[in-house]
Amino acid sequence: MSSNLPMIMMIGAAGLLFVIVIAYFIINKMLNKDDAKYAKQLVQGTESNAFSKEVMYQKLYMTYIKIPGIKRYLIKLRRRLEIINIEDEYITRRQAAAILTKALAVIIPLTIIIIALTKNNPLLLSILLIFEIFMIETIMDGMVNKIDNKLLKEQVDFFSEIRHAYHEFNMVEEAIYQVAQDDELEVSAQAERIYEVLISDDPESELEKYYDVAPNAYLKEFAGVSYLTKEFGDRKVDGASLYLKNVDNITQEMQLEILKRDKLDYVFQSLSVISIVPILLIEPLKSWAVSNFSFTNSFYSGKLGLIVQLIIILATFICYILIRKVKDVSSTNANVKNTENPWQAKLYKKAPIKKFVDLFIPKKGTKEYRTLTQNLKESASPLKIEWIFINRILLFIITFIVSLIMFNQIHNVAIKYIYEEPTTEYDLIGNMSEKDEKKAMSLTQQDNYFLDRLKGKPDITVEKIEVELKYSEYYKEATDEEIEKAANRIYTKLQTVNTETLKWFEFLLAFVFAIIGYMAPIWLLFFQRKMRQLEIEDEVMQFQTIILMLMRIERVNVEIILEWLERYANIFKDKINRCVNNYEAGAWEALEELKNDITYPELIRIVEGLQAAVEKIPIRDAFDELDTERAYYQEKRKDSNERLISKKGMIGKVIGFAPMIILFVGYLIIPLVVIGMLSMTNAFTTMSSMY
C-alpha cells in the first residue's frame, strides 16, 4: 500500500490538473459568447471582492446540474426543498448545492479510504463503491430532514408571534401578514403563502392547492383553522379566543413531534454508521488475523472466507435499508414522491416491456391484487403496482446473474488459493520464517508446473502423477517415498482445480436466490406496513386534536370533520376516503361501514361519536370528553411517543448491530477457534507420528 500510494497521488494530481485546465478552456469559451458578455456588462460595477458562500453555492449548483450522475441527486433534492421554500428558486438552489457539496465532502474521502483498504480485493472494492450510491441519498435525506426540523421549530415561535399579533389586530389575515414580515425565518414564506390564500377571490380552492404543497401537517392545520375562523368568525370559549386555543393545540402537537424527532435522531444517530462499519473492517480484520495467526490464511484467502464476506456485505446492505425504513420521520417525502416520474414509469411505457410485465401482474379483483393494493396503501408507498413488478422482475434477473457470477468467483478464489498459497508439509500454528516461506513458494511453483500439465484430465490417477514426477527435472534424485508424497499432494490439488466449476445445484441455488430477490419488494412493503402500524395510536390521537379544534367552530359538520381527518390521515386514509365518498348516499351507513373496517378501539369510539353527531346531538356534545380530558390525552400522547421510540429503538438496535455480530463472530471468532483447534490437532498428530 505504502509503495503504491505516492504513484496513486501523483496520477490523481495529474488528473485533477488536467480536469482544471479543460474546465478553464470550456468556461473561457462560454464567457466569450454574446449572452455571457451581456450578462457581464449588467453586473459590471456590482461585483464584490469578498468571498460569498451564497455566490459560491449558486455557481456550484450550475456546475452540478451539468454533471449527469450528480444531476439526478440534485433534482431529487430540489423536489423536497421546493416544498419547504415555496418554490423560492434562489434559496432552493443554495440549499440544494450546499447539501450536495457536504455530501460529496463526506463521500469523496470515504471513497479514498475504501480504495486504500480494499485495493487488493477488486470484488469488495466494487461492491463498496456501488454501496456508496445509497449512502449519498441517506446523507442528503438527513440534511433535508434537518431543514424540515428547523422549519418545524420555527413554527413554534411563529405561532407564539401570531398570538400577540392577533390580540393587536383581532383579524386572522392581518395577524398572519404582520408576522410574515420577518424575513429571517424560513417559515415566513409559508405565512405569506397562507396570507395570499386567505385574501384571494377563491380562498377555498387556493387552500386546497396549498394543502398539496404544505411541507407538514401542522401548517395545513393552521391554514385550515385560519380559513374557517376568517369565514365563520371567532368566538369566546371559557373566556378565551377559540382561534388562539386552536393555535395552542397545534403548537402542543408540534412540540410533541419535535421531541419525538429529537429522541429518534438521538437513538438512531449512530446506528446507520454501525451498520456500515463492518464492510469497512473486513480487509483490516483479515490482515490482522492472517499476520498474527497464519493458520487462518486458508480460511480468509479461500472460498469460505469469500462466502462469509458476501454474507456480511448482503447483511449490511439489507440492515442499512431497514434502519432507514424504521427511522423514517420525514414529512416532505410524501409530498414529493408522487410527483416523480421514475425510471420504472418510463420503462413501463415501452410496449414490449409492458406486455411482458402485465403477464406477472395479478388480475384486478383477485385476492392477490387486493392484498398487494392494501399493502401499498398501508405502507404509504409511492410506488404503483406496475412499478413494483418491474422492480421484482429486474431483481429476479439481476440476482440470478449476480449469483452465478459470485459462484464463479468463489471457484476462481479456490483455484487461485491452490496456485498462490505457500505449500508446507505440515499445518502451521505460528508464522513462517523468510527462509521457510521461500522454500514453500518454490514447492508451490513446482506443483503449479504439474497442475498446468495435468489439469482437465478426468482419468488422472496418483500412479500417473508419479510417472510424470519421475521423469521431471524436479524429482530426478528424489526417493520413491518423496515422489509418492508429492504425487498425493498434487493429486489433492488437482481434485480441487478440476472440480471448482459451476455445478447444476449452483444454478438451482441461483434460481432460489432470484426467487428471494423477486419477493424482496413485497417483504419490504410488509415491513414498512408493520413499522407504520406502530404509529396507529399517534395518528388516532392526532384525529382527536383535529376534532377538538373543529367541534366548537360554527357551521362545522360531520362531513367537514371527515374531510379533515382524511386530509391528515396516513394509515387510515383509504378507509376514511371511502367513508367520505359514500357520505352523501347515507351518512350513518357510511360511518357504520367505516366502523366495521377498523379494529382500533379509540378510532371506533371517534366514529361512534360522529354517528351520534349526525342524528342525535351537536358535535361539541358528542366529543365533550376531548376537551374535559385534554390533559389526560396529552399525557397519554407523550407516553405513546415514548413507547413508539422505545420499540423503534429496540428494532433499530437489533438490525443495526446484526452485521457487526456477523463480522466478529462469523469472520473472526469462529475461524480462529475452529481452524486453530484443527491446526493444533493436525500438528500434534504429525509430531506423534514422528516418534
pLDDT of amino acid 229: 87
pLDDT of amino acid 279: 79
pLDDT of amino acid 262: 86
Q: Rounded to whole angstroms, how far apart are CA atoms 406 and 466?
A: 36
pLDDT tens track for 657-675: 888 898 888 888 888 888 7
Q: What is the mean pLDDT of residues 194-205?
A: 88
Across 54-74, b (16+ Cβ under 10 Å) vs e yields: eeebeebbeebeeeeebeebb
Least confident of 29-38, 113-122, 504-513: 29-38
Q: Which helix (H) or strand (E) holds 237?
A: strand 236-237
One-letter amino acid for residue 235 of the chain: R
Nearest to 250 by CA among 160, 384, 115: 160
pLDDT of amino acid 333: 42
One-letter amino acid for residue 381 of the chain: S
Q: How confident is the model at residue 394 (pLDDT cuts 50, 70, 90)?
A: very high
Those residues whose C-beta lies under 8 Å from the C-beta of residue 179, and which sit 6 or more positions away, are 158, 161, 162, 165, 188, 191
Q: Which helix (H) or strand (E) holds 594?
A: helix 587-597
The answer, yes or no, to whether residue 341 has pLDDT greater than 70, is: no
pLDDT of amino acid 19: 54
Across 141-161, b (16+ Cβ under 10 Å) vs e yields: bbbbbebbbebbebbbebbeb
Q: How confident is the model at residue 399 (pLDDT cuts 50, 70, 90)?
A: very high
Least confident of 18-27, 172-181, 270-279, 506-515: 18-27
Q: How confident is the model at residue 252 (pLDDT cuts 50, 70, 90)?
A: confident
Strand 240-241 relative to strand 236-237, pairing: antiparallel
One-letter amino acid for residue 169 of the chain: F
Nearest to 278 by CA among 310, 311, 307, 316: 316
pLDDT of amino acid 689: 60
The answer, yes or no, to whether residue 5 has pLDDT greater than 50, is: no
Those residues whose C-beta lies under 8 Å from the C-beta of residue 443, and which sit 6 or more positions away, are 422, 423
pLDDT tens track for 211-234: 888 888 888 888 888 988 888 888
Nearest to 623 by CA among 559, 543, 540, 551: 551
pLDDT tens track for 543-556: 888 888 888 887 78
Q: Rounded to whole angstroms, how far apart are CA atoms 519 and 392?
A: 7
One-letter amino acid for residue 284 of the chain: P
Nearest to 155 by CA among 111, 119, 187: 187
118 burial via Cβ count (<10 Å: 0-12, 13-18, 19+): buried
C-alpha cell at 472: 521431471
Mean pLDDT of the chain: 79
